[in-house]
Amino acid sequence: SLHESQFSLLYQSVSKSATSGEIHFIRMTMTHFLFSYPVMVLLTVMVTLGLLKLKCWLRCVYLVSRLPGPPVTSLVGNTTILTTTTETIKTFLSLSKLYGPLVRLWVCLVPFVVVNNPSDIKAIMANANQTHKNFLYTLLDKFFGHGILTSSGAKWKHDRKLIEPFFHRMTLNSFITTFAESSELVVDGLQDKSEVKITDLINICVRGILHHTMMGIPLSDHETKLRSPFVTGHPFIISRFQRPLYLIENLYRFSSLSNNETQQQTSFKEFAREILDKRRRSENNLEWCLLDHLIRVANTTGEFTDEDIVDQICTFMLSGQDTIAGAVTFTLYNLAKHPETQQKVVEELETVFNKHSFISLRSLNEMVYLQQCINESLRLFPSIPLISKKLVEDVQLENCTLPAGLNILILPIAVHRLEEYHPDPENFNPDRFSRGNVKALHPYSFIPFSAGPRNCIGYKLAYMEIKTIIATILRHYVISVPSDHELELSYKVVLRAKRMVMTFKPRL
């Protein structure tokens, strides 16, 4: 055979009995084997992986094709849902009412399933293996960085384990003074003003707290905070959905939009590196911050590089702004709309501060009714109205099996308004979260900070900060909403109010 003759000539060459022509033939044959065999193996692997992905995609398509859902627009599918910030929220709220517990959506050629039933959500979110984010979070990489929010699998587990000790309650206790001082600045900013666009003041307050607790920048260091790009940063994902072709990375990277996003990312990272370098050089870091914790991890374990630290700082700086500011603003709005509830909170605060002269961990824990009001506001207006995942293994639900590889959407803003779990869902009723009632609440029917292994790592800090800001404001002012004010919601990764105006009257 040909192979036998080739190896026979190879043997002759080795024994120095081959002619020059035979040696040339052997060289050509060896070159053929060296290069064609790996190429064939590579091609085989690529084809196999391609077929497996195709099989996975077809399984997802088969399931999605049998589910109800909104009309599809040609190749862009249902991407128009995310193109208008106001209509997006209305669509989120209508999907379960119109189509039931499992809803089909298409993002171009990518099938999605919206899961609305809390028991089904538990089957997905409580599973320790289902920690993967899907391509929607990849679109946010340039905004948040490759930190704990957008990472998946082993990297996410590794990073979370290293970061989690920072968010222990006793560590967070040291930040309460910062929360209180920044809240007092809001009170000062409200002096001699009656009608205020409260969102701006709350955003300034939260940004000051973030710069201090995450990066160690003092509240008094206005110059550094004014230079901070985190003050004006914004995600580009909605703009990409408005131009569906920009969802294709190889097209998007050549656009001016991508160039602007890259410049923004560069400014985030350069500022974070600058503060990192200063923090490392300083010998008088008396107040602990997340950056110090990450530096310690890097120094003691070698687990974090400087690039890792910068990514994590960018993630926490950007993910903690609008989420907490939104929770504060919507809670104030609900208390302003319901004066009798506001009065109950004030009475509770009077009782708490008769026992404690200042805000502390103990006094915050005693603000039980205020906590109920915050939870009820988060039920109606969750800061993150959309959570997205990609299944890494099949998930068995009561009526069907969700295949591995399927993209999942969970809409807290819709789940929180399911009448079978939250009677009279549009009504603001903090007693839903009283100690007696909360025990009967399905744990996955209220998920403002996500749930399961990938719940928000900073939720304790968030509650402490929200409570401090609201308690400080209510001790000084009676708040109300102008009679002609209409709340209009919008979606830009987080839930926002387009215009939030309130009236503040000094409390006697």
> 388: which residues sit within 8 A by CB, 6+ positions away?
133, 134, 136, 137, 407, 408, 409, 410
Tokens of 242: 């408005």
| Binding-site residue ranges for heme | 456
Only one residue has tokens 């052997």, namely 26
Tell me the angle at which helices 2-14 and 20-65 cross, rounded to the nearest 10 degrees. Answer: 130
**Which is it for the CA torsion 183, 189, 194, 200, positive or negative?**
negative
Kindly list the distances between the CA atom of residue 57 and the CA atoms of 53, 60, 152, 267, 337, in Å, as whole numbers in the listed order.
6, 5, 20, 38, 48
Distance between CA atoms of residues 325 and 304, nearest Å: 30
Distance between CA atoms of residues 124 and 118, nearest Å: 10
Find the Cα–Cα–Cα–Cα dihedral 441, 442, 446, 452, rounded to 10°: 130
Provide the H-helix boundaries in 338-445. Answer: 339-355, 361-365, 368-380, 412-415, 435-438
Distance between CA atoms of residues 459 and 482, nearest Å: 32
Supply the Cα-derived Rg of the chain in whole angstroms: 28
Helix (H, G, I), strand (E, B) or coil at 35: helix
Provide the residue type at 222 as one letter.
H
**DSSP classification of residue 356:** -
| Binding-site residue ranges | 456
Helix (H, G, I), strand (E, B) or coil at 300: helix
Helix (H, G, I), strand (E, B) or coil at 492: strand
Helix (H, G, I), strand (E, B) or coil at 455: coil
Helix (H, G, I), strand (E, B) or coil at 482: coil
Distance between CA atoms of residues 409 and 402, nearest Å: 13
Tokens of 215: 């990066």
Phi and psi at 409, nearest 5°, equal -120, 135
Taking a C-beta distance cutoff of 8 angstroms, is the pair 438, 446 a contact?
no
Nearest one of 204, 411, 214 to 322, comparing CA atoms: 204
